[in-house]
Amino acid sequence: MAVIRRTSTAPPLARPLATAIAVIIALSAALSYAHGPAVAQTDGTRAGADATGLNFGAAATVEMLADDGVAALLDDNVNMVSTVAEVDFGVIQPQQGTYDFSRADAVVDFAVEHEMTARGHGLISRAGLPAWIVDGQWTAETLAAVLVDHVTTVVGHYAERNPGVVTQWDVVDEAFLPDGSPRDSIWRRVIGDDYIRIAFEAARDADPSAELFYDDFYDDLSVTQDAVDSGVTITPGATTSNSTCDAVAKCVGVRGAITGLVDAGVPIDGIGIQAHLLSPDPLDLTEFTSWIGELGLRWAITEFDVPLPLTETANPESLAYQAGAYATALSACVDAPGCDTFVTWGITDRVPPVASDDAFGGGLWFDGSDARKPAGDAIAEILEAAAPAPTTSPPVTAEPDTTPPPTVGQPTDSDEGSSAAVAVVIGLAALAVFSAVLILVRGRRS
């Protein structure tokens, strides 16, 4: 910034007096700052989530966290971060017995740095398996031993390295087909259905304090697409008007398996629900999740977004629909005693965790310029409304003052404090005047 210098026309005494006054003002400002600078307020949603007691998170890759804009959005708006593919089997153990925690560590370290918790997503899955697993020659016993070693090592790594940070694990995910039958995988072909029990028990042993989830998707379009991809009969998924578990074949299959595991004492704490809501007729989460509570389990939204047709991502009506879908889902979780976790699949359309396809995109709550969308406004309003009202303390009745009045001429403690303060002010003023006079006298002598 350019400095404009002006020649003062003030009289000689005025210049030092003005300087002295400026010094006193600066001293006053410094004293005020010492009592605590004003904290900059933001309109982020993190404070609302904290006040509500909600684990409100976003999934993020290592590359997303390296983006300063994404990191700032996460810090302001969420209190939990979830892995995307950082704990996939092939990422963590690309070769048998060789573990690489670098990518997952980066996500957890971000959580620690920003005072968040973390979710480990996709510990045992159909995806991301290395060739040595898929092509290996296994017996049920040898593959079960690999499974136990992997789960124990990964979950135990974070229980020891960052205790209390990775508070939730999606131990097994997507183990069932749209028709409710078990999905084919190397785990099931070799070990049998018991692999789910083995994985959960190993995770509990490795970190008794973490919450353990089975994670899957049930919305209509995702279920239909999975049926096409898997070559099985197309059966309906959940929609707004078709949201009972009994009406969704996949849910019936999952419910039966989870019921058996719970009855057998397998340590499952909750059901994770992926919700990439491509349909304009999304599932009713309140109705759909009723069976979960009946089993004594919790539920969580683990992957939420509302992708729009690429031609509609700037359409106000489409953005209003998207905001309504976010509001309905978040409200269902906030209002449910069994739900305390809501994780969106990323945070900004500018850097989604997984590249959008050619037809849909813009499913998150910040836009391509990192500006908050109507969906983000809806989130903020719901969290603010759900936060408990601040408690007010009852009025304090003052005790009667039994101190005898001071003798005339005898200073009280308050008088002494006031006198000290006045003395400081007078001293500063005197110093300023003295300096001014001294400068004036010197100026006249020169």
38 pLDDT above the threshold of 90: no
Give ∠ CA 302-200-290 in degrees, rounded to 5: 50
| 124-128, 257-261, 442-446, range with the lowest pLDDT | 442-446
254 pLDDT above the threshold of 60: yes
User: Residues 426, 431, 436, 442: what is their CA dihedral angle, to the nearest 10 degrees?
Assistant: 150
CA–CA separation, 112 and 107 (whole Å): 9
Q: What is the pLDDT of residue 16?
A: 35
More confident residue, 388 or 124: 124
Domain spans of the chain, in order of start: 46-386
443 pLDDT above the threshold of 50: no
Q: What is the pLDDT of residue 402?
A: 59
272, 234 Cβ separation under 8 angstroms: no
Q: Which residues contact 75 (CB under 8 A, 6 or more apart)?
A: 46, 114
How far CA 56 is from CA of 155, 301, 347, 379, in Å, comes to 22, 10, 11, 10
How far CA 160 is from CA of 111, 119, 157, 168, 207, in Å, comes to 16, 16, 5, 15, 9
The pLDDT tens digits for 282-299 are: 999 999 999 999 999 999
CA–CA separation, 257 and 250 (whole Å): 11
The pLDDT tens digits for 133-186 are: 999 999 999 999 999 999 999 999 999 999 999 999 999 999 999 999 999 999
Q: What is the pLDDT of residue 43?
A: 79
Which residue, among 148, 131, 133, 231, has the nearest Cα to 186 in the 3D structure? 133
Q: What is the pLDDT of residue 398?
A: 54
Burial class (CB in 10 A: 0-12, 13-18, 19+), 154: buried
The pLDDT tens digits for 324-367 are: 999 999 999 999 999 999 999 999 999 999 987 779 999 999 99
Mean pLDDT, the chain, rounded, equals 84
CA–CA separation, 443 and 230 (whole Å): 95
How far CA 111 is from CA of 115, 172, 257, 282, 317, in Å, comes to 6, 23, 33, 31, 36
Distance of CA 185 to the CA centre of its chain: 32
For CA atoms 238, 243, 249, 254, give the dihedral sign.
positive
Q: Which fold has domain 46-386?
A: TIM Barrel (3.20.20)
CA–CA separation, 63 and 331 (whole Å): 31
More confident residue, 290 or 25: 290
